[in-house]
């Protein structure tokens, strides 16, 4: 069977139907039936009034506009919305950014919308605000998955939950600044500037929703976590959030401006637009841009054009976590987490990856480690560490350790070196689904953190599932409230310090462990970490 790439797997694999939804790669629409009456909640924002609905005692406002229509400012920084009169209904999710495949549901360039879940309105209770950024790399997804529904978190912890949509892929990260148009100077980080505008909306409006503008925790999975890591080095994001959690999402380096320009040229070539006619890409139908998003990347040896943050010397003046942790966010308490079996979400759709032989493994590893190291040496070291494991088991261990997990370790270590308050976790709890074949794959922590194991797309089943959701959701709420994740559902969680590398291993029960997988970490330390896309 031929190798299945990540995009194909995310469309086809049964196990990651949940992972797709969980990481925001597809949108499952809401089917809530809303009936307005005198009890329907109405909130007043600085732009106008909105009417929502109640769900299990929680006030819900969906599709709330935080930015103006970006179709009129394609590739430019966002603008605040115009004020409106009357009461606008806010009961349906807003459109997601244009994207490829079937991942976006309702798509439009007019996509700067957010959703608010809150137990109270105008009651001055100053609840912690949990601001969620969806996954899907920087290219896909939306804040509309049922797995991101905030009702249960609100009821569990008396908190406010916010989720957002923002510009993605070419619309949010196509770097056109070197083609001579001043109005395109922010094109490489427009998606990041959208998120910052949403955070400003929260700062300016969240008291109306019973939230505390001085206690905002950003959290995000996969691409959402990477966007957070990037914001921690963006001057425009300074003081807009007070706590941060990244879940399997790291950003050590951004794309360099010259590589980003090569990628822009590849998209322009695919559209048959010369740089001299650059204005054409600002006016063509957005569907034409979507059609060329899978253009081969001119820098990487795999996949379509990479879209991500750019070292543009405007919004981003340094790499997020290179050569060190950004000083501007060193005071912000941060949790950095990953799952034990990340790559089973990307590579588990190919059954041959479970049944390969030792002889087949080197060629399988070469395109999937994302690091330039001799595969035979790595295999030999892993066989010494885990003599009881099969080739397939070793394959998933190696690919997990050599890819995103390395970025998480680097971020945690750099923050530890600077004395920044940092906590690390590893999710070991494996769903019994499919006889536990997929372990704890990428995106499996989302349903647990939101306590949404009964939602469509969730895979957490079995007698321990709710207990695991209780543990993770309570821990995230505790961190949002105080900046310290300790609570009565886990043992004492110590900060990540060198050389111990204390890490909370989430399971039933959970435990604190020094440097889990430390021997694996050391195998790859000899090779420089270069983030794909840089």
| pLDDT band at 12; cut points 50, 70, 90 | very low
Average pLDDT, stretch 157-161?
A: 98
**Per-residue CA distances from 195 to 13, 231, 311, 321, 342 (Å):** 30, 9, 17, 19, 26
Sequence-ordered list of residues with C-beta below 8 angstroms from that of 366, at least 6 positions apart, any chain = 375
Q: Extract the tokens encoding 490.
A: 């886990």
Rg of the chain, C-alpha, whole Å: 22
- Across 177-181, 444-448, 525-529, the highest mean pLDDT is recorded for 444-448
- pTM score of the predicted model: 0.92
Report the C-alpha gap between 400 and 64 in whole angstroms.
Answer: 38
Residue 8 has pLDDT above 70, yes or no: no
Average pLDDT, stretch 36-65?
A: 93
| pLDDT band at 181; cut points 50, 70, 90 | confident
CA 82 to chain centre: 29
Sequence-ordered list of residues with C-beta below 8 angstroms from that of 406, at least 6 positions apart, any chain = 371, 521, 524, 529
Quickly tell me which residue has 């007043």 as its tokens.
44
pLDDT digits (tens, 9 = 90+) for 452-471: 999 988 899 999 999 999 99
- The residue annotated as part of the active site, out of 222, 402, 473, 534, is 222
Residue 72: count of CB within 10 angstroms of its CB: 10
CA atoms within 13 A on the CB side of 175: 26
pLDDT digits (tens, 9 = 90+) for 73-90: 999 999 999 999 999 999
Sequence-ordered list of residues with C-beta below 8 angstroms from that of 514, at least 6 positions apart, any chain = 500, 501, 502, 503
* N residues, the chain: 534
Sequence-ordered list of residues with C-beta below 8 angstroms from that of 374, at least 6 positions apart, any chain = none
Q: Extract the tokens encoding 258.
A: 């010259």
Residue 532 has pLDDT above 90, yes or no: no
Report the C-alpha gap between 251 and 361 in whole angstroms.
Answer: 28
Report the C-alpha gap between 117 and 153 in whole angstroms.
Answer: 9
| pLDDT band at 29; cut points 50, 70, 90 | very low
Q: What is the model's pLDDT at position 311? A: 98
Residue 18 has pLDDT above 50, yes or no: no
**Per-residue CA distances from 451 to 162, 191, 225, 470, 519 (Å):** 15, 28, 19, 7, 33
34 or 293: which carries more pLDDT confidence?
Answer: 293
pLDDT digits (tens, 9 = 90+) for 94-143: 999 999 975 556 899 999 999 999 999 999 999 999 999 999 999 999 99
Per-residue DSSP letters for 40-92?
Answer: S-EEE-SS-EEE-EEETTEEEEEEEE-S--GGGGTTS---PPPP--SEEE-BS
Query: Are 210 and 154 in contact, with CB atoms under 8 Å apart?
Result: no
Q: Establish whether 222 is a catalytic residue.
A: yes
pLDDT digits (tens, 9 = 90+) for 306-343: 999 999 999 999 999 999 999 999 999 999 999 999 99
Q: What is the model's pLDDT at position 34? A: 54
| pLDDT band at 158; cut points 50, 70, 90 | very high
CA atoms within 13 A on the CB side of 500: 13
Provide CATH code, domain 6-172+192-254.
Answer: 3.40.50.1820
pLDDT digits (tens, 9 = 90+) for 165-179: 999 999 999 999 999
Q: What is the model's pLDDT at position 4? A: 32
């Amino acid at each position: 069977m031929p190798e299945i790439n990540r995009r194909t797997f995310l469309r086809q694999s049964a196990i990651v139907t949940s992972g797709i939804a969980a990481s925001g790669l597809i949108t499952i629409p809401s089917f809530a039936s809303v009936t307005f009456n005198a009890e329907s909640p109405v909130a007043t924002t600085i732009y106008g009034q909105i009417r929502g609905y109640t769900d299990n005692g929680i006030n819900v406002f969906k599709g709330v506009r935080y930015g103006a229509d970006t179709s009129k400012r394609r590739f430019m920084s966002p603008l605040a919305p115009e004020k409106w009169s009357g009461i606008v209904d806010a009961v349906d999710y807003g459109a997601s950014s244009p994207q490829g495949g079937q991942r976006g549901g309702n798509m439009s360039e007019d996509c700067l919308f957010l959703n608010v879940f809150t137990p109270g309105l105008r009651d001055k209770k100053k609840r912690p605000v949990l601001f969620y950024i969806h996954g899907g790399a920087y290219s896909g997804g939306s804040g509309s998955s049922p797995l991101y529904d905030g009702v249960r978190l609100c009821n569990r912890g008396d908190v406010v939950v916010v989720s957002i949509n923002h510009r993605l892929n070419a619309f949010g990260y196509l770097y056109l600044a070197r083609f001579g148009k001043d109005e395109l100077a922010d094109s490489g980080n427009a998606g990041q500037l959208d998120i910052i505008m949403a955070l400003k909306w929260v700062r300016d409006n969240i008291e109306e929703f019973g939230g505390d503008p001085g206690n905002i925790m950003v959290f995000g999975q996969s691409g959402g976590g990477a966007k957070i890591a990037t914001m921690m080095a963006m001057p425009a994001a300074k003081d807009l959030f007070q706590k941060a959690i990244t879940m399997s999402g790291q950003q050590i380096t951004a794309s360099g401006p010259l590589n980003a320009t090569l990628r822009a040229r590849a998209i322009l070539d695919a559209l048959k637009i010369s740089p001299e006619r650059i204005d054409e890409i600002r006016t063509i139908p957005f569907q034409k841009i979507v059609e060329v998003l899978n253009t081969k990347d001119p820098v990487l040896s795999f996949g379509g054009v990479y879209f991500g943050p750019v070292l543009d010397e405007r919004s981003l003046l340094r790499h997020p976590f290179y050569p060190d942790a950004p000083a501007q966010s060193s005071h912000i308490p941060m949790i950095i987490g990953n799952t034990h079996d990340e790559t089973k979400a990307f590579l588990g759709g190919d059954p041959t990856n479970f049944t390969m032989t030792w002889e087949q493994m080197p060629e399988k590893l070469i395109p999937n480690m994302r690091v330039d190291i001799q595969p035979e040496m790595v295999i030999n070291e892993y066989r010494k560490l885990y003599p009881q494991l099969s080739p397939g088991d070793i394959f998933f261990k190696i690919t997990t350790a050599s890819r995103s997990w390395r970025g998480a370790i680097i971020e945690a270590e750099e923050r530890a070196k600077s004395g920044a308050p940092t906590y690390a976790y590893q999710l070991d709890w494996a769903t019994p689904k499919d006889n536990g074949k997929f372990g704890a794959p990428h995106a499996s922590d989302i349903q647990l953190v939101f306590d949404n194991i009964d939602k469509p797309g969730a895979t957490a089943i079995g007698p321990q599932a709710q207990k695991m959701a209780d543990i993770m959701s309570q821990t995230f709420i505790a961190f949002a409230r105080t900046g310290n994740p300790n609570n009565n559902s886990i043992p004492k969680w110590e900060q990540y310090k060198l050389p111990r590398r204390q890490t909370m291993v989430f399971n039933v029960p959970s435990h604190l462990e020094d440097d889990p997988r430390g021997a694996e970490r050391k195998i790859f330390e000899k090779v420089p970490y270069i983030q794909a896309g840089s």
